[in-house]
Amino acid sequence: GLERGKDFKLWFMAEVPSIVLLADEFSKLCDGFSIGSNDLTQLILGADRDSGILGNLGYFDERDPAVLRSIAHLIKVAHENGATVSICGQAPSVYPEITKFLVENGIDSVSVNPDTVVATKKLVASVEQKLILSRLAELKDLLSKK
């Protein structure tokens, strides 16, 4: 049979809601997750992403609260169990607010289209800087109360 060597990393694609719902179980079996934002959105919302009709009506939207809560849940649970999380798909390339949301929720890596790399890199750096400054301010307040 196959042996899992020390350098072999096992990742699961998080493209179906069951991976998110059972993240506590799956994260014990793998090193990380790669979120397929297009497929995950389609299956959470029950909307065909290739349907021009549904797309025009706004039914397929990666910014939907159900999708964002699912992603945040997966990141949280995966990290609690020592697994990392990345995301691929169009969402971070198309919607900077999703990239901001992902960074604020602790995503480990983001895959974007080549034409958005520079803007995304600047956005990630800006959001991370704000998070660090916010945490430092909280720590300063905590220390000043002692």
Q: What are the DSSP calls for 17-71, one per residue?
A: HHHHHTHHHHTTT-SEEEEEHHHHHHHHHT--TT-HHHHHTT---TTSHHHHHHH
Confidence at 58, pLDDT banded by 50, 70, 90 = low
CATH at 66 = 3.20.20.60
**Residue 33 falls within a domain, yes or no?**
yes
Task: Kindly report the pTM of this predicted structure.
Answer: 0.87
Q: What is the tally of structural domains in the chain?
A: 1
What's the whole-number mean pLDDT along residues 72-76?
98
Instruction: Flag whether 1 is in a domain.
Output: no
Report, as an integer, the average pLDDT of 106-120: 95
Local confidence band at 19 (pLDDT 50, 70, 90 cut-offs)? very high
